[in-house]
Amino acid sequence: MFIAVTFANGLILKYRSKKYIAQNPELEKGYDKYFKGLMIYGNIPWVIMMVGNLSGITQSTFEYFNPKAMNPMVLIFHLSIIMLWALGMRWIYFKNGAEFIETHPGLMQKSSFSGNTNVTAKQIKLLFPLMLLGGIAGMIMMWFMNFPTPQF
């Protein structure tokens, strides 16, 4: 299901990009590269989760909320997320990812009462740490709180 949602999001972004590609055809290669990256990197944690569930290493998806149990597949899942955060940070700040998003309209937008507008590279660089902080807070909660894991 998670893989399907990631693909659906990618297809929606690809559909939205068509109007920008029609206006500026030289951006098509960049959009295609972004979508391929989203499909590959965005599905890494879900593939790990799928392998864990299908192989019997994990019994349910809920086990991934309890890394303290030290299940190897759950730890690999969490490590993959941390690695994706690090790669995202590297891309945004050191590989001109924020500028790439700014020059490829429709990949990231902000909503307001006056409608949707594209974000700037500066806004991305300012907001990325806040988004990352939310993920880190969730990860810390999973490590230090006792989440009840339903048994099926």
Would you state the structure tokens that stand for residue 137, as one six-digit string?
Answer: 């807070």
Residue 152 has what pLDDT?
Answer: 64
- Separation CA 47–CA 84 (nearest Å): 14
Count of structural domains, the chain? 1
102 domain residue, yes or no? yes
Residue 136 lies in a domain: yes
For residue 16, being part of any structural domain is answered with yes
Domain containing 88 equals 2-144
Give the predicted TM-score (pTM) of the model: 0.87
Query: Do 20 and 105 meet the contact criterion of CB atoms below 8 Å apart?
Result: yes
Taking only the tens place, the pLDDT of each residue in 81-133 is 999 999 999 999 999 999 999 999 888 877 777 777 788 999 999 999 999 99
Q: In sequence order, which residues have a C-beta less than 8 Å from that of residue 123 and are 6 or more positions away?
A: 110
Residue 49 within a domain: yes
Q: Which pLDDT score, from 0 to 100, does residue 7 have?
A: 94
Residue 25 falls within a domain, yes or no?
yes
Q: Is residue 101, in this structure, part of any structural domain at all?
A: yes
Q: For the residues 25-45, what does the mean pLDDT come to? A: 95
Under the banding of pLDDT at 50, 70 and 90, the label for residue 148 is: confident
Residue 9 lies in a domain: yes
